[in-house]
Structure 1
Amino acid sequence: MALSTSDFQALRDYIRRICGMSIPDGKEYLIEQRLGPIARKHGCADLSEFRNRMLGYDSFQLRDEVIDAITTRETCFFRDEHPFEALRELVLPRLTACAPTGQGGVDSEEKTVSVWCVASASGQEPYSLAMLIDEFAGSRHQGAGLNAFSILATDISNEAIRRARRGIYRRAEIERGLSAERIEAYVSRCDESYQICPRLRGHVEFRRCNLAEPFVTLGRFDLVLCRNVLIYFDPPMQRSVIEQIDLMLNPGGYLLLGAAESLYGVPVTLESLRHRDTILYRKPVAAT
């Protein structure tokens, strides 16, 4: 379906308004490819008619379909690897220094380490994190276990959330990022597919979250993974997201962005630090 200049402008403005995603000039093909099938499904002769329906009385009914179609959900287990090395070697030891053992008899003074995966897509990132935490706890023989952590994973796509909760993946998805040892420990066959074990699935809470709307009420966190999210937003939207995350991070908490993302130009309280190939951001602890 061909897309006129006025339709392109109206549709991309609508997309930014409902989910924050910024579509640059010259990306008409992206809207044609992703929204064209929805337009045909709903009997629209062209994208101009679809535009009128989206901006009119059918907007609410079409909204979720547009979000599912236009958002990018590229992900894999242990994506990029080196950020997870930084988490294992630097962040987890620091965050678990005062965390409970997860083995009962926890002192009331001890706290749960709260983690948020901001755009979890089909769930590979939060499940990777749960595996990492479980392995980290096992290697220490004592101290914080998986039960000492709460893991919240959010996404704007309802379909992505449903799939992540099921934790069922194709063989190619499982083998992309998971070692044979991790597959044996955390994955089981499910008909012709593979499923994450119940223990990990039960430990990750999946919820819908639209970053284009206020989200500070989600809570306070010790670790936030917001990887490969900001690249889809324009500067004002990036600033809004980071400023809210800054408010939500506990003192001493960490923020991890994607390799192509930074906090440049955003006035926040976070300090940057490097661990090998990974840049992290940490919220200072107030002096006592």
Structure 2
Amino acid sequence: MTDADFNFLRLLLHLRSGLALSLEKRYLAESRLGILCRRRGIDKIGLLVQRLRHGNEIELENAVIEAMTTNETLFFRDQSPFELFRNVILPEKLASNAATRTLRIWCAAVSTGQEAYSLAMVLDEMAARLSGWKVQIIGTDISTEVLERARAGIYNQFEIQRGLPIQMLLRHFQQNGDKWQVSERLRAMVELQQHNLLDPSSHLGQFDVIFCRNVLIYFDVPTKTKVLAALAPRLAPDGAVVLGAAETVIGISAAIVPDKQHRGLYRDHRSSHAQAASISLPVLPPAAVAPLLAKVSSRIRA
């Protein structure tokens, strides 16, 4: 692959998906796109790029984006976000949404569905308390290929062993040969849609909880800012955003702010939780400032 071809691919991926492909990842592009070329009977990556330059093969562009998108995920990944969901977010929403008895959750970049089904399992634990509630889990991803896998809810033994407690496996999965399928009841709790985080998302509505984990790490700062700015209007008042452990909004977005009491939890900057978490110092009149400064100074001298 020539330098010109690689730079074209970097630009295409950034414009279409937000993915910031560094120069050091050239080997990754050659490896993944080499596989794509062999699958499609294209002799070399240069010919693939030549077709992409014409700009009239959207399906091929999508295939390139899917090939270059990292879809690493597992059940109950990192554990702490799900404890946060179970012990902090859900009790809040049970109280604040008691009148409407509705709960909407968005799993952005849902990949092959493990995160969405993990949340569904947590909600199933609280089925008695959520009786009569309308609960929606919306999972979105840019890749139609991984969404099809998520809809099927079929996982191999390796995928099942990564993070899924044995009691949940026995309760929520049926074995089919050497693979396992999520129960029909759990699959019915999750609605999956194709969506690019760079595209408008108003059609999705508002959500009480947004999981957008381990996505921002693949974007440059301007793209992170754009994505976070798009998430904020989708968040209901006093809603919650959960990001990945290596992700933050600090220095990137003022629309969503960290919750001071719970690491990894973020709020709309206007929410009561965000305001309550911030420390508010009284504003003193000028006449009261001088005596205080004098007292401090005398203690320092002593």
Give the structure-1-normalised TM-score.
0.88
Question: How far apart are the structure 2 equivalents of 1:167 and 1:44?
Answer: 32
Q: Deviations over 1:25-74 (max 9, x none)?
A: 22111110111122234443332221110121552131221122110010
- 1:80 aligns with 78
2:201 corresponds, among 203, 215, 225, to 215
Secondary structure of the residue that 2:43 maps to in structure 1?
Answer: coil
Q: Deviations over 1:151-193 (max 9, x none)?
A: 0000111110000001000122112111111111111112321
- 2:18 aligns with 20
- 1:151 aligns with 137
- For residue 216 of structure 2, what is the amino acid of its counterpart? L
Query: Which stretch of the first structure deviates more once superposed, 48-57 or 245-254?
Result: 48-57
- 1:105 aligns with none
Shift of 1:275: 5.5
1:45 aligns with 2:31: no
Alignment gaps of 5+ in structure 1: 101-108
Percent sequence identity over aligned pairs: 37
- 1:103 aligns with none
1:281 aligns with 2:279: no
Secondary structure of the residue that 1:94 maps to in structure 2?
Answer: helix
1:94 corresponds, among 92, 95, 100, to 92
Question: How far apart are the structure 2 equivalents of 1:183 and 1:146?
Answer: 26
1:179 aligns with 2:165: yes
- 1:60 aligns with 58
Shift of 1:89: 0.9
1:31 corresponds, among 29, 32, 40, to 29
Question: How far apart are the structure 2 equivalents of 1:87 and 1:149?
Answer: 14
- Change over 3 Å in CA distance of 1:57–1:18 after alignment to 2: closer
1:162 corresponds, among 144, 148, 167, to 148
Shift of 1:219: 1.0
Question: How far apart are the structure 2 equivalents of 1:166 and 1:35?
Answer: 26
CA contact (8 A) 1:216 1:245 kept: no
Pick the structure with more helix per residue. Answer: 2
Question: How far apart are the structure 2 equivalents of 1:146 and 1:170?
Answer: 34
- For residue 162 of structure 1, what is the amino acid of its counterpart? E
CA contact (8 A) 2:103 2:133 kept: no
Question: How far apart are the structure 2 equivalents of 1:217 and 1:238?
Answer: 21
- Change over 3 Å in CA distance of 1:38–1:271 after alignment to 2: closer
Question: How far apart are the structure 1 equivalents of 2:201 and 2:76?
Answer: 26
1:125 aligns with 2:110: no
Secondary structure of the residue that 1:207 maps to in structure 2?
Answer: strand
Question: How far apart are the structure 2 equivalents of 1:146 and 1:188?
Answer: 27
- 1:113 aligns with 103
Aligned residues: 272
Question: How far apart are the structure 1 equivalents of 2:157 and 2:260?
Answer: 34
Secondary structure of the residue that 1:97 maps to in structure 2?
Answer: helix
Question: How far apart are the structure 2 equivalents of 1:175 and 1:275?
Answer: 32
2:247 corresponds, among 250, 261, 269, to 261
Secondary structure of the residue that 1:154 maps to in structure 2?
Answer: strand
Stretches (4+) displaced over 3 A? 40-45, 145-148, 284-287
Secondary structure of the residue that 1:125 maps to in structure 2?
Answer: helix
- For residue 203 of structure 1, what is the amino acid of its counterpart? M
1:6 aligns with 2:4: yes
- Change over 3 Å in CA distance of 1:189–1:275 after alignment to 2: farther
Query: Which stretch of the first structure deviates more once superposed, 3-12 or 161-170?
Result: 3-12
Shift of 1:96: 1.3
CA contact (8 A) 1:246 1:268 kept: no
Kindly indicate whether structure 1 or structure 2 has the higher relative contact order, using CA contacts under 8 Å at least 6 residues apart.
1
In angstroms, what is the RMSD of aligned CA positions? Answer: 1.9
CA contact (8 A) 2:77 2:163 kept: yes
CA contact (8 A) 1:44 1:50 kept: yes
- Change over 3 Å in CA distance of 1:234–1:145 after alignment to 2: farther
